[in-house]
Amino acid sequence: GNERAYSFEIHTSSDGKSFTCAYKGASSTGATPQSYHFPEKITAQFIRFHGYGSNQGPWTSISEFKVCK
């Protein structure tokens, strides 16, 4: 919704077994698409999203996740 902000991490891996946290942050409130940029160039074959809940409860809800070069 328009009132929730979510905390999350994005982990990356080259082999699908050993993952490293590439981004840790929080979304802003609102229903518009948001962009997040890695602090450095990442080479990975696998990406994992970890949601840690919102400012209103222990759940995370995303409608779309897109990785761009």
Burial group, residue 23, by CB count within 10 angstroms (0-12, 13-18, 19+): middle
Residue 15's pLDDT is what?
Answer: 96
Residue 18's pLDDT is what?
Answer: 97
The two three-digit tokens of residue 21, written as one number:
């946290």
The pTM of the full predicted model, rounded to 2 decimals, is 0.79
Burial group, residue 37, by CB count within 10 angstroms (0-12, 13-18, 19+): exposed
Measured in residues, the chain has a length of 69
Residue 39's pLDDT is what?
Answer: 79
**Measured at the alpha carbon of residue 1, what is the angle toward residues 10 and 57, in degrees to the nearest 5?**
65
pLDDT digits over 4-42, tens only? 888 999 999 999 999 999 999 888 887 778 888 887 888
